[in-house]
Structure 1
């Protein structure tokens, strides 16, 4: 195995490998009321998770540019846990199919 000569190259490769999936942030109980928020850093990017007025949980990437509006990030709540996906491609959380009939052996 070769080690990248530059730490920046290594961090970029790790970020591209790991950012393209769903990542656990926290339990939904961490933001119980409307207007509550949670700030986390994921792969060096600040992410704010907010419980909106309609009780939905949403995530936003905080841009560092002047006058930059927060950019929405895909967010999912499953089993009382908050997950975000920083990748722009379409990924879905896989849920078990409970409607399928059991297989007989």
Structure 2
């Protein structure tokens, strides 16, 4: 017989399980102009989604620490919908390595 976890453990496990996927935030039409922003709370984390001056949509996690800088969050737009991914494991975005086209000499 298994014992159900306490409420705190259950909430932590559920947040960990659901945090790792892509989550719908809103439609792109919610922030139509440069400088517009939208603030949402996702799994207890305040997230700001903003349309930057270069007309790109980016998302940031707002830290609760004093003088904490917002952390970038993975953000994607698909079918005019904004999605974010809060998973910290794949948080850093890396530039793809360029493959040199020069042939190797033998």
> What stretches of structure 2 of length at least 5 have no aligned partner?
92-106
| Normalised TM-score (structure 2) | 0.80
Matched, 1:29 2:24: no
Aligned length: 90
Cα shift at 1:88? 2.3
Aligned match of 2:103: none
Matched, 1:4 2:5: yes
Counterpart Cα distance in 2 of 1:44 and 1:2: 27
Aligned match of 1:98: none
Counterpart Cα distance in 1 of 2:50 and 2:56: 8
Cα shift at 1:3? 2.8
Aligned residue for 1:17, secondary structure, equals: helix
> What stretches of structure 1 of length at least 5 have no aligned partner?
92-105
Moved over 2 A (4+): 88-91
Counterpart Cα distance in 2 of 1:15 and 1:65: 21
Aligned residue for 1:48, secondary structure, equals: strand
Counterpart Cα distance in 1 of 2:47 and 2:3: 32
Counterpart Cα distance in 1 of 2:11 and 2:4: 12
Aligned match of 1:96: none
Cα shift at 1:90? 3.6
Counterpart Cα distance in 2 of 1:28 and 1:83: 10
From the CA coordinates, give the structure whose radius of gyration is larger. Answer: 2
The Cα RMSD (Å) is 1.5
